[in-house]
Amino acid sequence: MAAAATNRIAETRELLRNWSRPFLMRTYDAAVEDYLEIADEDFKVEYADGELIVHSPATLRHEDIGLFLGMLVRDYVSRQRLGFVWGPNAVMQLAPSRYFSPDLSFLSSANDSRMMNERVVGPMDLAVEILSKSTRAYDRGDKLNAFLAGRVPEVWLIDPDETTFEARVLHGDVYRAHTLREGRWTSSVIPGFSLDVAWLWRKPLPSLAECGV
């Protein structure tokens, strides 16, 4: 492992032991082997073209929305037998040197051949990111660009602080952008699934029964 990467990983472990606020640490000149060595440890790490991206534990609000969405999407997908839904530890490999873990992801049964070696090799059908102060610039910038370059058919960016739901949907060779604060979003990759965006801003979040699930 490169010395710089080793030092930064040691710093990250120290930060986690004394964690009091969200952080995002980016380490350069790392190898894929560095990522594979620490990817199964107790913090979220991604890898893109020689850079390790290490996330602090999620905030309670972030975790709350992630679990709510996960239950909502998974329940629908399971009942309709449409495919697989995973949380923030599932790995999507978009290129030999690009490994990402969306906060929530969906892979259709038609694409289950992409599941290899405990990861998805190729794009998920849906990748969801829940933004926070520490990750907003990264999620909207490098990470979103990597998802689009990797041809993920549908991407959601959910910003609880700004109460905005953004989607990028692939139509042919072109992505179309959509932004909502309220109203329903109908997925292009999960047949028949729609979401009332206002549910995401409620405190507390609604139950599945209230959502009609």
CATH number for the domain spanning 187: value is 3.90.1570.10
**Residues 17, 12: Cα–Cα separation, whole Å:** 9
Q: Which of 43-47, 62-66, 90-94 has the lowest mean pLDDT?
A: 43-47
Whether 193 and 73 have beta carbons less than 8 Å apart is answered as yes
Q: Are residues 28 and 83 in the same domain?
A: no
- Please say if the pLDDT value at position 10 is more than 90: no
Reduced to 3 states (helix: H, G, I; strand: E, B; else coil), residue 117 is coil
Reduced to 3 states (helix: H, G, I; strand: E, B; else coil), residue 85 is strand
pLDDT band at 5 (very low <50, low <70, confident <90, very high): low
Q: Are residues 51 and 66 in the same domain?
A: no
Instruction: Determine the pLDDT at residue 180.
Output: 97
Length of the chain: 213
Q: Are residues 184 and 100 in the same domain?
A: yes
Q: Are residues 146 and 175 in the same domain?
A: yes
Q: Are residues 165 and 187 in the same domain?
A: yes
Task: Say if 111 falls within a structural domain.
Answer: yes
The number of distinct structural domains making up the chain is 2
19 or 119: whose pLDDT is higher?
119
150 or 9: whose pLDDT is higher?
150
Instruction: Determine the pLDDT at residue 18.
Output: 62
37 or 82: whose pLDDT is higher?
82
Task: Say if 81 falls within a structural domain.
Answer: yes
Task: Say if 210 falls within a structural domain.
Answer: no
Task: Say if 206 falls within a structural domain.
Answer: no
Tally the C-alpha atoms within 13 A of residue 46's C-alpha that lie toward its C-beta.
29
Residue 55 burial (CB count, 10 A): 20
Q: Are residues 145 and 190 in the same domain?
A: yes
**Which residues, 6 or more positions from 57, have their beta carbon under 8 angstroms from its beta carbon?**
16, 19, 43
Q: Are residues 24 and 70 in the same domain?
A: no
- Helix, strand and coil content of the chain, in percent to the nearest 5, comes to 30, 30, 35
Element (H, E) at 14: helix 3-17
Q: Are residues 69 and 149 in the same domain?
A: yes
Q: Are residues 116 and 31 in the same domain?
A: no
**Residue 49: DSSP 8-state:** T
Pairing of strands 24-27, 104-108: unpaired
Task: Say if 209 falls within a structural domain.
Answer: no
Q: Are residues 189 and 84 in the same domain?
A: yes
Model pTM?
0.82
Mean pLDDT of 131-157: 94
pLDDT tens per residue across span 109-138 = 999 999 998 899 999 999 999 998 888 998
**Residues 195, 182: Cα–Cα separation, whole Å:** 10
Reduced to 3 states (helix: H, G, I; strand: E, B; else coil), residue 135 is coil
Instruction: Determine the pLDDT at residue 81.
Output: 97
Task: Say if 117 falls within a structural domain.
Answer: yes
Instruction: Determine the pLDDT at residue 47.
Output: 77
Q: Which of 41-55, 73-87, 185-199 has the lowest mean pLDDT?
A: 41-55
Q: Are residues 98 and 151 in the same domain?
A: yes
Which of 37, 55, 73 is the last residue in one of the domains? 55
Mean pLDDT of 27-40: 71
Cα-only R_g, the chain: 17
Task: Say if 13 falls within a structural domain.
Answer: yes
Reduced to 3 states (helix: H, G, I; strand: E, B; else coil), residue 24 is strand
Instruction: Determine the pLDDT at residue 59.
Output: 79
pLDDT tens per residue across span 193-212 = 999 999 999 999 999 999 98
Joined together, the tokens standing for residue 96 give 């030999």
Task: Say if 155 falls within a structural domain.
Answer: yes
Domain residue limits at 84: 60-201
pLDDT band at 71 (very low <50, low <70, confident <90, very high): very high
**Residue that is written with structure tokens 């606020």 in the block:** 21
Q: Are residues 105 and 165 in the same domain?
A: yes
